[in-house]
Structure 1
Amino acid sequence: MIDATTLFTIVLMAGVTYLTRVGGYLVLRNRTLSARATAVMEAAPGCVLISVIAPAFVSRNPADLLALAITFVAATRFSMLPTVLIGVASAGILRHLIG
């Protein structure tokens, strides 16, 4: 069973994530973005993904290193969503099998 603190933390994180999405929409809804600003906005999800997987580059855990390699190969062949799903699934499965 999940304890109350963990559940509360998850709910708050989801709320903050939602508010940043809605806040961005409300701030930018009546504006026309320059080409440079559009490029920055399109690159932001990739930057977030890199910040999440970057610690795996310095990991000594073989499961994490294998999952990182699988994710890298997937990134060269698929778009963002399948790559993320493949990365998460491979990390979970390899951590379960290898430890």
Structure 2
Amino acid sequence: MEREVEVDFILPAGAGAAYAQDTDQMYYVRNSGSSTITDAHTQTTKLYQALTPLAPGAGAVIQLPITLDRGSAGATYNRIQVFIRAILISL
């Protein structure tokens, strides 16, 4: 299973922000300039190996949390977009 995440941050001068997939911090950005960055964009991908055997017709819930952290000096976000792709093998 592969998950692609896009996040857009708004960073006033001196602000910083990060985001993580599960417990892995994937991206951190800091504005060291004197004006606001209105759309700091990032796009990252994480690959998961989920071995969840299922009986025919059964389903499973798989948690894939995204967290925003390390926000400072008024940093905010204006978009989170997620794509999930899975390969299923039937034996």
Q: Higher strand share goes to which structure? A: 2
Q: Which has the higher contact order (CA 8 A, sep 6+)?
A: 2
Q: Higher helix share goes to which structure? A: 1
Give the TM-score taking structure 1 as reference length.
Answer: 0.18
